[in-house]
C-alpha cells in the first residue's frame, strides 16, 4: 500500500510517503540556499512521494529564526529551482506556511511579537501583544499571498501550520487564548482566526494547489486543547475544504518534546543558541523548559485513530515512524499517507531503501541532536557526522 499512488485534492503522489516539514535551518537571511535545494532534491531522489519545505513565514512578523524562509516575490526564482529539482526526480513539492506568533524574535521582526492574547512567553522569551481584528485580517491575507507565491514557485501543495503552538494554534488553544471578544472563549470563537486564514488559503489555492493542514490533536499541557475539541477543529477543516490533515500534537512554548518525544540534548542545545545568555539559560533550565516525554514507535497512533473514525477526508499520520512495519500498521488503520521527519534526516533515501528491501528499520536512534542544532544552523544528524 505504501507504494501505491494517492490523490490529495488536485494532485497525485507516486506513493504514500511525505517528508514531514522539519525545519532545515538552511535559509540564511531568509533566502533559499543551494543546500536547501540539494537537500530536498536528495529526499526526492530517495523515493519520497512528496517533500515539504518547512516553516516558511507568511510575513516578517511571523519569523522566529534568522535562517528561516520568508515567503516573498524576490525568492520565487530560487524556490522554482527547488521545485524543478524535486519534480525532476518525479516527486511532488509542498511548502509549510505559517506564522510563529509569540515565538517571534523582537530583533528579527523589529517590534513586539503578536499573538491571540497579551502575555509573556518564557520560551522565546517575549512579551507579546494580543492582535486586533485589523491585524488578523492582514495576517490572514498574508496566508493567501503565501499560497500565490508557492504556486508561482511551482509547489504542488501548501501545508498550513495550525499546530505546535504557533499563531493559529495560539488562537485555538484555551491555554493561550484569553480573549473576551468573538475570537476567544468558546471553541467556535477560538476557531474564527483559523477560518479567516483558511478562507484566504483555499480561495487562492482555487482547487489547483493541494491544501494540507498540520494541526494538534492535543497541546500536551494542562489547560491546552484536548482531543474532544481537536476533533471539532478537524471537522471544521474538512467542512471548509482542506484536502488533507497532518495529525500532530505538542506546543513549542509549553510542551516542545510532546511533538517529537524523547529528550532534548540540553548541552548541544545550549551550545547552539545564537545568543550566549540564552545558551546559559538553556543549559540551566533546558530540562525544565523542554521536559523529556518517552518515545515509542508510532507514538501518536492511538490518538490519531480517534480522528480516523470521525472523518472522511485524507489523513496523514506523523510521529515515530522508523520502519516499514510502522508504516504498514498505520496504513492498516486506514490512514492515507505517512509523514516522516527523523528517519529521513538520518537517511534521505529511507523510502527507496524500504522499497528495495535494503533496510527494515531506520538507524535513527531519536537522540534529537538534529533538533538541538537547528537553533543556529542547518540540522545535522550526529550519527552521520560521526561516520564522516
Ligand X SMILES: Cc1cc2nc3c(=O)[nH]c(=O)nc-3n(C[C@H](O)[C@H](O)[C@H](O)COP(=O)(O)O)c2cc1C
Near ligand X by CB under 6 A, which window of 2-10, 20-28, 196-204, 226-234? 20-28
What is the per-residue binding string for ligand X in 227-246, x denoting contact by CB under 6 A?
--------------------
Q: Which residues touch 104 (CB under 8 Å, ≥6 apart)?
A: 61, 62, 63, 64, 113, 114, 124, 126, 128
Task: Please name the residue ranges forming H helices in the chain.
Answer: 34-45, 76-88, 106-109, 133-152, 167-172, 187-190, 192-205, 227-240, 257-260, 266-271, 276-289, 301-308, 324-332, 342-346, 350-355, 369-372, 382-387
What is the per-residue binding string for ligand X in 192-211, x denoting contact by CB under 6 A?
--------------------
- C-alpha span between 234 and 243 (Å, rounded): 11
In the chain, % helix, strand, coil (3-state, to 5) comes to: 40, 15, 40
C-alpha cell at 125: 522569551
320 near ligand X, rule: CB under 6 A: yes
Near ligand X by CB under 6 A, which window of 32-40, 132-140, 272-280, 339-347? 339-347
161 near ligand X, rule: CB under 6 A: yes
Q: For residues 277 and 294, which CB has a smaller minimum distance to ligand X in the complex?
A: 294
337 near ligand X, rule: CB under 6 A: no
Helix pair 76-88, 133-152: axis angle to 10 deg: 50
Q: For residues 161 and 179, which CB has a smaller minimum distance to ligand X in the complex?
A: 161
Nearest-approach distance from CB 235 to ligand X, in angstroms: 21
Near ligand X by CB under 6 A, which window of 87-95, 172-180, 200-208, 319-327? 319-327
Q: Indicate the burial class of 118 (C-beta count within 10 angstroms; 0-12, 13-18, 19 or more).
A: middle
Near ligand X by CB under 6 A, which window of 38-46, 110-118, 215-223, 336-344? 336-344
155 near ligand X, rule: CB under 6 A: no
Could you give phi then psi for residue 216, rounded to 5 degrees?
-90, 140
* Residues found near ligand X in the complex (CB under 6 A): 20-23, 54-55, 96, 161, 164, 214, 248, 259-260, 318-321, 340-343, 370-371, 374, 379
Q: Which residues are catalytic?
A: 166
Amino acid at each position: 500500500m505504501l507504494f501505491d499512488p494517492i490523490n490529495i485534492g488536485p494532485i497525485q503522489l507516486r506513493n504514500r510517503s511525505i517528508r514531514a516539514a522539519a525545519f532545515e535551518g538552511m535559509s540564511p537571511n531568509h533566502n533559499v540556499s543551494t543546500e536547501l535545494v540539494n537537500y530536498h532534491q536528495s529526499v526526492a531522489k530517495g523515493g519520497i512521494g512528496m517533500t515539504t519545505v518547512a516553516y516558511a513565514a507568511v510575513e516578517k512578523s511571523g519569523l522566529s529564526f534568522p535562517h528561516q524562509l520568508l515567503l516573498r516575490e524576490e525568492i520565487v526564482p530560487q524556490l522554482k529551482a527547488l521545485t524543478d529539482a524535486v519534480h525532476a526526480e518525479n516527486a511532488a513539492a509542498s511548502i509549510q506556511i505559517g506564522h510563529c506568533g509569540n515565538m517571534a524574535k523582537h530583533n528579527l521582526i523589529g517590534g513586539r511579537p503578536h499573538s491571540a492574547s497579551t502575555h509573556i512567553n518564557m520560551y522565546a522569551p517575549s512579551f507579546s501583544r494580543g492582535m486586533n481584528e485589523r491585524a488578523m485580517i492582514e495576517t490572514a491575507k498574508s496566508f493567501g499571498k503565501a499560497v500565490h507565491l508557492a504556486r508561482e514557485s511551482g509547489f504542488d501543495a501548501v501545508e498550513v501550520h495550525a499546530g505546535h503552538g504557533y499563531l493559529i494554534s495560539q488562537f485555538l488553544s484555551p491555554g493561550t487564548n484569553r480573549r473576551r471578544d468573538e475570537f476567544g472563549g468558546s471553541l467556535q470563537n477560538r476557531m474564527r482566526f483559523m477560518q479567516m486564514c483558511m478562507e484566504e488559503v483555499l480561495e487562492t489555492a482555487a482547487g489547483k494547489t493541494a491544501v494540507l493542514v498540520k494541526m494538534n490533536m492535543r497541546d500536551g499541557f494542562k489547560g491546552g486543547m484536548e482531543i474532544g475539541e481537536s476533533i471539532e477543529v478537524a471537522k471544521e477543516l474538512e467542512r471548509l475544504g482542506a484536502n488533507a490533515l497532518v495529525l500532530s500534537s505538542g506546543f513549542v512554548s509549553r510542551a516542545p518534546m510532546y511533538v517529537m518525544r524523547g529528550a532534548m540534548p540540553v548541552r548541544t542545545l545550549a551550545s547552539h543558541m545564537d545568543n550566549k545568555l540564552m545558551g546559559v539559560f538553556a543549559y540551566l533550565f533546558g530540562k525544565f523548559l523542554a521536559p523529556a516525554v518517552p518515545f515509542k514507535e508510532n507514538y501518536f497512533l492511538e490518538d490519531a485513530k480517534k480522528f480516523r473514525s470521525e472523518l472522511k477526508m485524507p489523513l496523514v499520520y506523523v510521529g515515530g515512524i522508523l520502519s516499514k512495519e510502522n508504516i504498514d500498521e498505520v496504513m492498516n488503520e486506514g490512514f492515507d499517507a505517512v509523514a516522516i521527519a527523523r528517519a529521513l534526516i538520518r537517511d534521505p533515501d529511507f523510502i527507496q531503501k524500504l522499497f528495495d528491501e535494503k533496510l527494515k528499520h531506520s538507524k535513527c536512534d531519536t537522540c534529537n541532536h538534529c533538533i538541538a542544532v537547528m537553533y543556529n544552523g542547518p540540522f545535522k544528524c550526529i550519527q552521520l557526522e560521526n561516520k564522516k
